[in-house]
Structure 1
């Protein structure tokens, strides 16, 4: 296999200076009137044809060995006209150049936005502007990144995973090498690689292996001084580690900071800290709730944040950080006591309703949270059923919890149950329009978001049926 190119000449590399890779001399060497020596000759007119010919031979050979579906993926476009790295300066792999270019394209054009739909701009999406440059400089992260792209491609093709299996073998070997290196084990590139492998293994159903990776990345985070310190160095790494570890294990793996941002755990946003001075403006419906004080405090502060901030003032990144903090805070609370009392049961119902509401308005990021949501839907359903009588739950809170369950359970086995319960509550409370429902929702917790349409559509379908 040919040696990958360095991205500078010898002189620029020694000076740690950027190099424009011009031949026969780069502009810096011309200016300094010094000899310009490359470890490998950049792709000039003389070498381009030879290298392109060799790449075509390699690609044809690999295509003959791959299934028809994968070979079809390789011929989507011509690498001579679409090349993301004309100097092949990415880390070497056992895949041919054309195949690598396809996977790079798929990662940058699709995977980056699937993993982080909070930012759909190429010039600011963190997987494009932060993750990818790190991947080009770290062989393990580069292989893991290509693997996420190949898994997506081969899953759609439905005819096996030859590329992904090859990349997995090499990814694990490279990550192990980084972990065994004292200088690389705590680098953010290694954390990114390990947490991505955890998500990949979890998606395959290898839960034990996935949790082993999570345990490893938690040790790396602890070595760096905690998740908050990691966020100071690499916000994307901290966000992904905290979020993915919670999805994979089904529970928070890191503590939270206090309400004023003190501590080394997952931190709140500034709006949450400021809300502490505004708790008196909450709706009367929140004052009347007979729930645990810790649960009431979370709901009240969040109500203040949402009802004071317009959707345009709360950015997608702030919503993500707030959701991550709230999920960690909610799911870290111990069980409420006395067990099975109406107050404890209602507190547990609010806990899982609030967690599901945050997931619903947030949407999937990095990897699917469907398993986590299903588990919380089951718990919410169980706690609501435990209440001795439906009237034990105040009307507005009842409508809010059931509405959250209705929206979050779309496409699951629990959807019919929440629909039936909403029909009962609608008749009991004489709700006739979506605006009647919206009034109840706003009295508990509500923020204008694109997901509002999900709630409205579900409710209008039910109201039409009940009016017939």
Structure 2
């Protein structure tokens, strides 16, 4: 019986149900105790007469030691010998990479959902990959890169998978019926991330430009989301991370347009901003309207107990694109600070997803530093908002050259405002945003070098803020002495 791309037995096809292609009977037919008839043999199915083999691999030889391997994730069991597209790797290696992808990469790419039954890379991405050779090779490549990176023995197998994936994608792009599928977009944007990780920025940019054209033909991100929410979330997010700036438009506050959409809570959020007793009214901040409206809505929406993972992801993606898209409007220094501090804060409460955001986060942190340098010279600023911006910068600059600048300016600002401990800082922070355990821990740790921690050094050791004050006073005294001596 010839191999085909048939993806269902007769019973599942008639009932319009997804078929898992198990032989001799699929799971649905087994459960219903009915006859399971395949009009054609499922692609790469493992029948006794013709076992699934890799490209160029002989079907003869001893059976694989993984012949009984299966992995159970949540309520689903994945059999490496189940139907999957052919590759150029050994069968046993493919099976290992499948298990690696399903048990690690899926959760590494989407840590927002650690539930195997609902993680989108398991229940949405993987079925697409099993039906699409290009996406399957790209998926295996992500697992292979991770495994080979830890093994420190080179990236030979990843290179093979990359070669095959690029070839398969080119064939898909040449076919108008395949070029704009969800699986094609997923594969291309993943290649963009892989090339960025290798430092191949030109190739990365080519992949991003290609996926942007595909989305345009599809009618925009909103249209893509109707068929594949995961694709619509991953494409703009990864494109932004690897290029350093948003690559897709957003809808307006009322959901008009074909770009990235706001969440349902966005439009009514403005009316409920002042319901939180600890929050200062946003109109006291004297921000430019475009930034003030975003801050006001976020202060109403952001509450860890009120947002599910999809809403948090969609909100973060929408807000980051709204904040970071190029604009011809000239903003005040305070608005620029809030713009970049809010972007950093959204990255922090969201966490890394799909791909590392370290590069773009560092870039935004430096932009915040530039505008804070202008801001700290002005006295016409809201103290709580300034402390919040400095706190965000302190947290994001950890481990970078900008860290000392943020520590010095945070210490000086705290002293000038009469803030002597973290309780005073926390009061300012809570007047801007509700703090969850994660953000509170982050901010407390960021201020620790300034307000001497109980665990660090003798209790009578001066804090950085106090030491700066003593140094400043000594400098001023020396200046006065020099002035008197010159009289």
Which interval holds the TM-score relative to the shorter structure? 0.7 to 0.9
- Taking the TM superposition and a 5 Å limit, the aligned residue runs for 1:357-376 are 357-376=345-364
* Residue matched to 1:290: 286
Contact residue 3 and residue 40 of structure 2 kept, 8 A: no
Deviations 1:286-330 (CA, angstroms, capped at 9, x unpaired):
322232121111111211223xxx422111221111111110101
Q: 1:55 to 1:125 in 2, by over 3 A?
A: farther
Confirm or deny: 8 A CA contact 1:147 1:164 kept in the other structure. yes
Among 237, 248, 256, which residue is 1:243 paired with? 237
The farther-off stretch of 444-453 and 137-146 is 444-453
Matched, 1:185 2:179: yes
* Higher RCO by CA contacts (8 Å cutoff, separation 6 or greater): 1
Flag the structure with larger Rg: 2
Q: Classify 1:459/1:20 alpha carbon distance in 2 versus 1 (closer, same or farther; 3 Å).
A: same
Does residue 296 of structure 2 align to residue 300 of structure 1? Answer: yes
Deviations 1:187-220 (A, max 9, x none): 1000000110111111111111111111111111
Q: Does the Cα contact within 8 Å between 2:81 and 2:95 map onto a contact in 1?
A: no
* Partner-residue secondary structure (3-state), 1:450: helix
Q: Is the 8 A contact 1:59 1:99 kept in 2?
A: no
Distance 2:176 2:301 in 1: 43
Q: Secondary structure at the match of 1:391?
A: coil
Tell me, in whole angstroms, the C-alpha distance in 1 between the residues paired with 2:363 and 2:38. 65
Asked if structure 1 preserves the Cα contact closer than 8 Å seen for 2:10 and 2:36, the reply is no
CA RMSD across the alignment? 3.4
State the match for 1:430 in structure 2. Answer: 418
Aligned match for 2:448, one of 457, 460, 465: 460
| Distance in 2 separating the partners of 1:389 and 1:47 | 76
Secondary structure, aligned partner of 1:451: helix
Q: What pairs with 1:119-138 in structure 2 (closer than 5 Å)?
A: 119-138=113-132
Residue 227 of structure 1, CA deviation: 0.4
Secondary structure in structure 2 of the residue aligned to 1:169? helix
Summarize the alignment of residues 214-293 of structure 1 with structure 2, pairs less than 5 Å apart: 214-279=208-273, 281=275, 283-284=279-280, 286-293=282-289
What SS is found at the alignment partner of 1:202? Answer: helix
* 8 Å Cα contact 1:4-1:88 kept in structure 2: no
Q: Is 2:310 the partner of 1:314?
A: no
Cα distance in 2, alignment partners of residues 305 and 164 from structure 1: 42
Q: 1:176 aligns with which of 160, 170, 176?
A: 170
Distance 1:85 1:236, change over 3 A: same
Q: Deviations over 1:386-425 (max 9, x none)?
A: 2361534321111100100011112222122111111111
Conserved 8 A contact 1:55-1:97: no
Q: How far off its partner does 1:88 sit?
A: 4.3
CA contact (8 A) 2:44 2:85 kept: no
Q: Give the SS at the match of 1:278.
A: helix
Q: Paired residue for 2:155, among 154, 157, 161? A: 161
Matches within 5 A, 1:405-424: 405-424=393-412
Query: Which whole-Å CA distance do the structure 2 matches of 1:20 and 1:153 have between them?
Result: 29
SS at match of 2:450: helix
State the 1:86 CA deviation: 5.1
TM-score, normalised by the number of residues in structure 1: 0.84
Aligned equivalent of 1:352, options 328, 340, 344: 340
Q: Deviations over 1:141-164 (max 9, x none)?
A: 000000011111111122210011
- Equivalent residue for 2:74? none
The answer (yes or no) to whether the contact 1:261–1:267 under 8 Å persists in 2 is yes
Secondary structure of the residue aligned to 1:270 is coil
Gaps of 5+ in 2: 72-77, 453-462, 468-487
Structure 2-normalised TM-score?
A: 0.81
Post-superposition offset of 1:278: 2.8
User: Which consecutive unaligned segments of at least 5 residues does structure 1 have?
Assistant: 61-76, 338-342
> Is 2:43–2:85's contact at 8 Å kept on the other side of the alignment?
no
Residue correspondences, number = 441
